A and B are shown apart, each in its own frame.
Chain A
Amino acid sequence: MRIALVACFALALANGPIGTLLIMRRESLGGNVLSHAVMPGAALGFLYAGYSLAALTLGGVLTGLAVAGLAALAARSRPQRQDSNLIAFYLVSLSFGVLIVAARGSQADLMHVLFGTVLAVDVKALVLIASISSLTILIVAALYRPLAVESFDPAFLRAVGGGGGTFRAIFITLVVLNLVANFQAFGTLLAIGPMLLPAAAARCWTHKVWPMIALATVMGMAAALSGLLISYYANLPSGLAIVMGSGVIYGMSLLAAGRMRLKPTKLEGR
């Protein structure tokens, strides 16, 4: 239980910045697609080596990056039809992954892959999660400026020379790595939840970036704590309880923040 809590806190520390950046870039759907793209790779790893952490992680990262690359290629040839491409990738990845697991694994295996088992996170998995989180935080802190500018105005970044696809590639890689980390605890269907929901909730309260990231992290931790406690006492699956917790926080934020902003911000005129 304690290991699960620490794992979720470590995840929240990385999910805060990455989720906030995803929301700022309006790429939540893309993030969702990537969380499903991780599964076929993990399923193939499971097929090959059972519940080996290395196999699952490596497989997940490879297919995640592969789908990200394919999505980028598809976007280049037809910029207008991105959402249908993304839905296609999402569905194909999900079906393919489920087919693989269902072919060789049991019902329990399938449930584990789809919804995760937070309580099954052992020390090895915790070390993996903590390493990914630390790496993410370091990179986001060191390269925040170009990452943010690439999110806002990639043409400007290219014109001033910071550009090319470097920072976009770095960001997508971080997203995939964090989704693989989230996958350990939450499974493929919910992996995007702890990343997006706290960040979406934080966006209701503030429009400045660093408060948004801090708030997203804190809310992620709060959801983890409450979710684990509730799942313990009510005997419910933990991952689902945590994501429900995030969802409740998001719902409350929507209502509360909307109520508090009674008047639109007045412009002082030109």
Chain B
Amino acid sequence: MANSSDPVRRRRSASDLLRLLGTATAPLRPSLAVSLSALGDNAQGAFARHFDSGYDPNASNGHSRREEGGIAIRNLCVRYGERFAFEGLTGEFPPASLTAVIGPNGAGKSSLLKTLAGIIRPTAGEVICAALARHRLAYLPQQDELDRGFPISVAELVALGDWRNFGSVREPPEGLAASVYEALAAVGLSTVMDRQIAELSVGQFQRALFARLLMQDADVILLDEPFASLDESTTEDLQHFLKRWQGEGRTVVAVLHDLDRVRRHFPSTLLLARSPIAWGDTSLSLSADNLARGQKALLPPEGGHIGRVA
């Protein structure tokens, strides 16, 4: 089945797979639907609110990225117990921007992204992000935060990106298999569509996650070390997507370690080392001066002998 070179055959096997998303609930959904509608709008509303708040098929109608995109933060501060991850962060990620967040290890970059994504609640300050409230934000975690051995196929993983159109319990829409195939083709994974994710290499898995991001069609895209452990050609391929997303008016923020890559491809940079060192145009943020200040900010106070933190 996977050896077929005929795209129509392959599309059909993807839809067979995707039917798994619906099969389990199929016997119940008619009765669920019947009993819900029997109970009336209140019950349906309550069900939707508590169990299915992601279902929003009309989300893209009348929707302007330029007006509703972007993130604004004011005095943001996150603490873990006694030590703080970062503090005093104020600024804006405007729509159609491509920002790199860099800094030494332990600088709070991942914590910042998690706070923007709404996963961590900030200790102080606020995040103003319309996309977050309207579920139009996508977050790509570091690879080791996901369980690669989970029994899900590549097609199913990517199909999840279209969550807005089917939610928790509804049947996936007609065109889903085709859009999953397109997204996988765009990242170069059309041959491994039917495989379990456990069988993928690190690079292939990252491509699959990018395909899921494509399906999500989010206004704000946050990526935590998207190119870690990837080879040059995969990184180049995936870099194109970041550029494309910026061109489409989305807000893209990525944590990176490769300063060279940042200088070449990222117009804005936030240099973070527990407190913000610089935030703005890359050529200005990445001055030697700022970088040195960043390194120093993370050293233990009073010249301790623990050694360099970065």
Contact = CB atoms under 8 A, between A and B. Distances in A.
Contact of B163 (A143, A162, A167, A267): A162
Contact of A142 (B28, B118, B204): B28
A267 to B, nearest CB: 7
B216 interface: yes
A162 B118 CA distance: 13
Nearest to B134: A161
Nearest to A162: B54
A163 B147 CA distance: 18
Contacts of B141: 153, 155
A142 B51 CA distance: 11
A210 B139 contact: no
A249 to B, nearest CB: 20
Interface stretch (A37-45, A61-69, A144-152, A175-183): A144-152
A104 interface: no
Nearest to B196: A207
Given A24-B150, A143-B168, A149-B160, A159 B25 contact: no
B201 interface: yes
A157 B81 CA distance: 27
A212 B196 CA distance: 14
Contacts of B63: none
Contact of A141 (B21, B27, B201, B212): B27
Interface in B162-217: 163-164, 167-169, 188, 191-192, 196, 198-199, 201, 203-204, 212, 216
Interface in B97-137: 117-119, 135, 137
A119 interface: no
Contacts of B135: 159-161
A169 B307 CA distance: 44
Contacts of B56: 161
Q: Most chain-A Cβ atoms within 10 A of its Cβ — which of B20, B54, B138, B141?
A: B54
Contact of B169 (A24, A143, A156): A143
B139 A156 contact: yes
A24 B198 CA distance: 13
Interface residues of B, number: 49
Contacts of A151: 150
Contacts of B150: 24, 151-152
B191 A145 contact: no
Given A152-B150, A161-B53, A144 B24 contact: yes
A145 B201 contact: no
Contacts of B54: 157, 160-163
Contacts of A209: 151-152
B28 A138 contact: yes
Contacts of A142: 25, 28-29, 32, 169
Which of A24, A144, A167: most chain B CB closer than 10 A? A144
A162 B166 CA distance: 11
Interface string A21-63: 0001010000000000000000000000000000000000000
Given A142-B25, A145-B168, A267 B201 contact: yes
A144 B25 contact: yes
Contacts of B24: 141, 144-145, 210
A138 B52 CA distance: 17
A265 B196 CA distance: 11
Interface string A62-96: 00000000000000010000000000000000000
A99 B137 CA distance: 52
Interface in A115-148: 138, 141-146, 148
B169 A145 contact: yes
B218 to A, nearest CB: 8
B50 interface: yes
Given A24-B151, A142-B32, A267 B199 contact: yes
Nearest to B29: A142
Interface in B50-67: 50-56
B51 A146 contact: yes
13 contacts: A138-B28, A141-B28, A143-B51, A144-B24, A145-B168, A148-B152, A152-B147, A152-B150, A157-B54, A162-B53, A166-B51, A210-B24, A265-B199
Interface of B: 20-21, 23-25, 27-29, 32, 50-56, 81, 117-119, 135, 137-139, 141, 145-147, 150-152, 160, 163-164, 167-169, 188, 191-192, 196, 198-199, 201, 203-204, 212, 216, 218
Cβ-closest 8 pairs across A and B:
A161-B54, A161-B135, A160-B163, A162-B54, A146-B168, A160-B54, A144-B24, A152-B150
Interface of A: 24, 26, 77, 138, 141-146, 148-149, 151-153, 155-163, 166-167, 207-210, 212, 265, 267-268, 270
